[in-house]
Chains A and B, each alone.
Chain A
Amino acid sequence: MKKLLVLVAAMVLVLGLSACSKVETYKIAMITDSGGIDDESFNQGTWEGIIDFADENDISYKYYKPLEVSDDAYLEAIDLAVEGGAEIIVTPGFLFESSIYAAQDLYPDVYFILIDGTPHDPTWTTWKTADNTMPILFNEHEAGFLAGYAAVYDGYRELGFTGGMAVPAVVKFGVGFIAGVYYAAQELEVEDDIVFNDDTYHYFGDFGPSDNFKNLALSWYAADTEIIFSAAGGAGASVMAAAADSGAMMIGVDIDQYDQSDTVLTSAMKQLGNAVQQGLQAWLDGEFVGGTSVYKGAANDGVALPMETSRFETFTTAQYAAIFLDLADGTVVVPADYDALVLFLNDATLDIPTKDEVEGTTD
């Protein structure tokens, strides 16, 4: 019996190895970050963009999952992708910044698209983007702005914000959201009715669902908060549960989350798929422009609200089109950090969340 098992194991190994020796190449490669390709957020949006593009243009593609979250493991995954014949490698997330910094010089013939980050060395001293690397950054603040603007126009006056962690992208969502809320309030002249300050601004410190997050949201809803914008990945599900129990609403993030709960008013979307496809198209056309960061915002369809699936009562598509155009043509320049936010609102009497709270430097 044991001998038989050993024989079978040996056969499996031999067959497995011979399968490896058959050379297959994949021209487009994606390396996932800490989440999988189905995180319903970052990786998934990127991956789906790649699939659509590759299928349309009949190009081979494959994703590689690093063994762990570390620069070395990321670089190994990149090595593997290059060995697998990758001509362009897409890496989603700022975690890849220093591994791309190394890889761009190591493989000068391979193109890199780095989403949400800019390459730098591991000590954060040298920043360099080579000609074969295209960093794509999103104007999350514009997506947050649209969500806040729409919520106030839709009649919400008492608002809250929960973030997963105070990482740059999430902080920008929050800053934009505050800007959108008070900008709309100023347009409608209802600044005095708006309740949105430190009391309803919080970072969970985690991106998964938990009783603590639900209870926090419940306590806000009990204290008359009408809607919470949750830029917190999977933890948003706990906010949805709290909203359902309280008969209130929430705003989703990154992708269109309307199908996850009836309490999702709208979602502050980053059009990851669009952005990746634009980058891949440039590469395919031989017009890949590396060396500097590309910013994706309203101006180039990088952010949006899903108007067709949103549950607005009074906010109209025409109003959305108007504010989106203002953002796209630069009539309204949404602040990306707290100092710019204060200048943008230009009204010291407003009771907005404090800088420490927004930047996550306090609890």
Chain B
Amino acid sequence: MSFADIMYFILPLVIASTVPLALVALGALFSERSGVINIALEGIMIMGGFVGAITIHLLEENAHLPIQTVALIGLLVGAIIGIIFSLLHAFAAINMKANQIISATALNMFAPAFAIFTARIIFGTQRVPIGDSYIITRVPGLASIPIIGDIFFQGAYLSTLLGIFIFIIAVIVLYKTKQGLRLRSCGENPQAADSLGINIYKLRYVGVMVSGALAGMGGVIFVLSFSTSFNATVAGFGFLALAVLIFGNWNPKRIIMAAFFFGFMRVISSTKSVIPFLNDLGLEDEIYLMLPYIATLVVLAFVSKNSAAPRAAGEPYDPGKR
């Protein structure tokens, strides 16, 4: 394959991995900016992916809808389930002032067990099968654009394209609107925000629910993009997304770059046999898989002073504290 062929082969794969990572990391950003640490992303992704896959499976069997409509409904259901599931975390963290790591860990442990248990009751097996033809060979019109068309619009998934769109919208909401500013203030100095009449509890709920929606949708994107069935796993993408968030220093632009870096490393670790340069290098797959984590550790070690982590993230809101 020529260099251009390799790029056209690899980049769509990298984008397919980048989008769920970036979207879920952005969800985590919403939650942390509002002041609630949400490490339950893995569990929420599994729940979203699970119910989304069931929805898609049932629609495929019973309704005669266009296949991309089915995918779209599956994504929406995944987002709704993500919201509902994340409410458990929100209630524990915001109303009950519980330790946010513990309640999120509980959700992470609950989700796969619930998925396996329920799938067995419904299907008699823990696997939820979905169709295998959700790829769009050519997006009409857009696919003919030189370079960009080849990378984004040939052999793409609706879920990927939708994910990019939602990411942009979410960033605009968080950084360019009044509501976004208020939400961010809850994670920096909630007492000050409260004194200005902002309802901390409400906005923290919103932050966690947005993270639930994005993570739930991310779970469905994972299933649609990488498998022909849901199998009670999202291969650690929820935790990866947290690493992306930290590596991206709580900043959307950097999150995109971090997700791209993670996605790129994951893709070349498994496709290096078609990249002559890397194939000649002869490094083990694991080296590429390790690199993003090592980079995250290095970043954490050196940049911790300039960390842009929200100052009040992880602290239950106490109006009496100053």
Shortest CB–CB separation between residue A164 and chain B, in angstroms?
Answer: 13
- Given that A219-B9, A220-B273 are contacting pairs, would A240 and B228 also be in contact in the complex, using a CB cutoff of 8 Å? yes
Stretch among A63-71, A78-86, A258-266, A339-347 lining the B interface: A258-266
Q: CB distance A38 to B126 under 8 Å? A: yes
- Provide the bound-state CA to CA distance between A216 and B273, in Å: 9
Q: CB distance B228 to A244 under 8 Å? A: yes
Nearest A residue (CB) for B236: A210
Interface members, chain B 22-76 (any A CB < 8 Å):
none
Q: CB distance B132 to A210 under 8 Å? A: no
- The DSSP consensus for interface residues of chain A is helix
Shortest CB–CB separation between residue B34 and chain A, in angstroms?
Answer: 29
Note all chain B residues with C-beta closer than 8 A to A38: 120, 124-126
Interface range on chain B (Cβ under 8 Å from partner): 35 or more
Check if A267 is an interface residue, CB within 8 A of chain B. no
Note all chain B residues with C-beta closer than 8 A to A216: 270-271
Check if A131 is an interface residue, CB within 8 A of chain B. no
- Provide the bound-state CA to CA distance between A63 and B235, in Å: 29
- Provide the bound-state CA to CA distance between A38 and B128, in Å: 12
Q: How many A-B residue pairs have CB under 8 A?
A: 100
Check if A58 is an interface residue, CB within 8 A of chain B. no
Q: How many residues of A contact B (CB 8 A)?
A: 34
Q: CB distance B235 to A237 under 8 Å? A: no
- Provide the bound-state CA to CA distance between A36 and B267, in Å: 31
- Provide the bound-state CA to CA distance between A208 and B227, in Å: 10
- Given that A208-B233, A212-B269 are contacting pairs, would A260 and B227 also be in contact in the complex, using a CB cutoff of 8 Å? no
Check if B16 is an interface residue, CB within 8 A of chain A. yes
Q: CB distance B155 to A241 under 8 Å? A: no
Check if A168 is an interface residue, CB within 8 A of chain B. no
- Given that A209-B233, A216-B270 are contacting pairs, would A40 and B227 also be in contact in the complex, using a CB cutoff of 8 Å? no
Q: Which A residues form the contact surface with B (CB < 8 A)? A: 36, 38-40, 44, 199, 208-216, 218-220, 222-223, 234, 237-238, 240-241, 243-245, 259-263, 363
The 3 closest A-B pairs by CB, nearest first: A244-B132, A219-B271, A216-B270
**Cβ contacts A to B, 25 pairs, < 8 Å:** A38-B125, A38-B126, A39-B125, A40-B125, A208-B233, A208-B235, A210-B226, A211-B226, A211-B235, A212-B266, A215-B17, A215-B266, A218-B13, A218-B271, A219-B271, A222-B9, A222-B274, A238-B226, A240-B228, A241-B226, A244-B132, A244-B133, A244-B228, A245-B135, A363-B285
